[in-house]
Amino acid sequence: MAIEVRIPTILRPYTGGERAVEGKGSTVTELIDQLEADHAGIKERLVENGEARRFVNIYVNDEDIRFTGNLGTPVADGDTVVILPAVAGGAVSFI
Amino acid sequence: MLTIDQATHDAIIAHARRDHPDEACGVVAGPIGSDVPARLIPMLNAAMSPTFYEFDSGDLLRLYREMDDNDEEPVVVYHSHTSTEAYPSRTDIKLAGEPGAHYVLVSTRDGAHESGPVDFRSFRIVDGEVTEEEVRVVDRYADDASTQEKAEH
């Protein structure tokens, strides 16, 4: 058994259009490194300066990793990881 | 072009007025591939700000799960600007994460939150490129898209 990773529409170009891919690792960091090995380019969309990007949400078994240890959050076979871009914006120009 | 029914169009404006001076935000979901904005889902602006909006991360997960379960996708992603025009800001463009969606902006500036016309505009935002599109408001949707889908099943 592997870890199921659900891929949002905007990142499916990296997975050949697949909505879900399999991954492995013992932390989210390792999982993302494995994803990068299989789907080059995807890591840069998830991680910036060693941290999860502010406007990408990553959930392990429905828990936002911001509340469970960020990229160090443990994962194991059978877990489901969901990646969703934040839905955010507004008149402010701070980015 | 965005085709949207009058009731949904009016409900988006009502939501924007209700939340003024904060930005209001939400989604109109529709059957995958239909391009029909059928089910309005007003969302809480977790930022509660007059210049920024963001869906709460837990709400976001529940929303996408629900759409998945219903074979829906976000046909429209909408939000309001409360003191600037109904045009995507640099922030809107940078954070636009649904290349298939119609990005609807409404402006409640200059007293529009109380009365008078409200600018209601729609855009495609793909790879940082903004393209405005026509908005066609209809009384109700013709049956073609949804019934054809059903007939094929």
Any CB–CB contact under 8 A between B72 and chain A?
no
The verdict on a CB contact (< 8 Å) between A95 and B52 is no
CATH superfamily to which A3-85 belongs: Beta-grasp domain (3.10.20.30)
**Interatomic CA distance for residues B9 and A51, integer angstroms:** 39
Residue B148: which of B33, B42, B55, B52 has the closest Cα?
Answer: B33
Confidence of residue A94 (pLDDT cuts 50, 70, 90): low
Q: Strand (E) positions, B32-134?
A: 39-43, 53-54, 72-81, 102-107, 119-126, 129-133
Tokens representing residue B31 in the block:
């059957």
Interface pTM (ipTM) of the complex?
Answer: 0.93
Q: In the sheet that A3-6 helps form, which strands lie side by side, from edge to edge? A: A20-23, A3-6, A80-85, A56-60, A63-64
Instruction: Map out the domains of chain B with their CATH numbers.
Output: 2-142 (3.40.140.10)
Q: What is the pLDDT of residues A9-55, one digit of tens each?
A: 999 999 999 999 999 999 999 999 999 999 999 999 999 999 999 99
Confidence of residue B147 (pLDDT cuts 50, 70, 90): very low
Write the residue in B25, B27, B57 that is nearest to A57 by C-beta.
Answer: B57
Q: What is the pLDDT of residues B107-125, one digit of tens each?
A: 999 888 888 889 999 999 9
Listed in sequence order, the residues at least 6 apart from A51 whose beta carbon sits closer than 8 Å to its beta carbon are A70, A71
**Interatomic CA distance for residues B116 and A88, integer angstroms:** 27
Mean pLDDT (whole number) for B136-147: 77
Query: Sign (positive/negative) of CA torsion A8, A13, A18, A20?
Result: negative
Look over chain A and give the mean of its residue pLDDT values, rounded to a whole number.
96
C-beta separation of A90 from B53 below 8 A: yes
Is 90 exceeded by the pLDDT of residue B11?
yes
Write the residue in B50, B84, B95 that is nearest to A89 by C-beta.
Answer: B95
Residues of B in contact with A95 (CB under 8 A): 90-91, 94-95
* CB atoms near residue B96 (< 10 Å): 25
Per-domain residue ranges for chain A? 3-85
The verdict on a CB contact (< 8 Å) between B53 and A90 is yes
Any CB–CB contact under 8 A between B47 and chain A?
yes
Share of chain A above pLDDT 70, in %: 98
pLDDT of residue B148: 45
pTM for the model stands at 0.92
Confidence of residue A92 (pLDDT cuts 50, 70, 90): confident
